Amino acid sequence: MPTMRAILVGAVDSSQVALEALARSSGWTVAAVVTLDQGLNGRHSDFVDLGPAAAKAGCPVIRVDNINRDAALSAIGAVVADYIFVIGWSQICGPHFLDLAKDRVIGYHPTALPRMRGRAAIPWTILNDEPITAGTLFWIDHGTDTGDVLDQQYFHVAPDETAATLYAKHMEALSAMLDRSLPALADGRTPRRQQNEACATWTARRTPAEGRIDWSAPAENVLRLIRASGRPYPGAFTQLGETPLQIWAASYAPLGNRHCARPGQVLETCNDGFTVMCGANTAIMVTDWSGASQTPRRHALLGAAER
Each residue's pLDDT, cut to its tens digit, for the chain (307 residues) gives: 569 999 999 999 999 999 999 999 999 999 999 999 888 777 778 888 998 989 888 899 999 999 999 999 999 999 999 999 999 998 999 999 999 998 999 999 999 999 999 999 999 999 999 999 999 999 999 999 999 999 999 999 999 999 999 999 999 999 999 999 999 999 999 999 999 999 999 999 999 999 999 999 999 999 999 999 999 999 999 999 889 999 999 999 988 677 789 999 999 998 889 999 999 999 999 999 999 877 888 888 898 654 4
Of 186, 203, 220, the domain-final residue: 203
| H-helix or E-strand spanning residue 3 | none
Q: What pTM did the predictor assign? A: 0.93
Longest alpha-carbon distance in the chain: 73
Look at residues 157, 182, 203 and tell me which one is the last residue of a structural domain: 203
Let me know whether 196 and 247 are in one domain: no
Cα–Cα distance measured from residue 86 to residue 297, given in angstroms and rounded to the nearest whole number: 48
Residues 6+ apart with CB under 8 A from 30: 5, 6, 7, 8, 19, 22, 23, 54, 57, 59
Same domain, 189 and 212: no
Q: Please tell me the distance from the alpha carbon of residue 182 to that of residue 187, in angstroms, as a whole number.
A: 9
Q: Are residues 218 and 111 part of one domain?
A: no
Residue that is last in its domain, among 203, 219, 239: 203
Report the b/e string of 143-172 with b at 16+ CB within 10 A: eebbbbbbbbbeeebeeebbbeebbebbbe
Q: Which helix (H) or strand (E) holds 181?
A: helix 163-186
The count of structural domains within the chain is 2
What distances in angstroms separate CA 125 from CA 132, 149, 225, 284, one per listed residue? 9, 20, 11, 22
- Indicate whether 177 and 194 sit together in one domain: yes
Q: Which of 180, 181, 124 has the alpha carbon at shortest distance from 157?
A: 124
By residue range, what is the domain housing residue 297? 208-306
Domain check: are 28 and 163 in the same one? yes
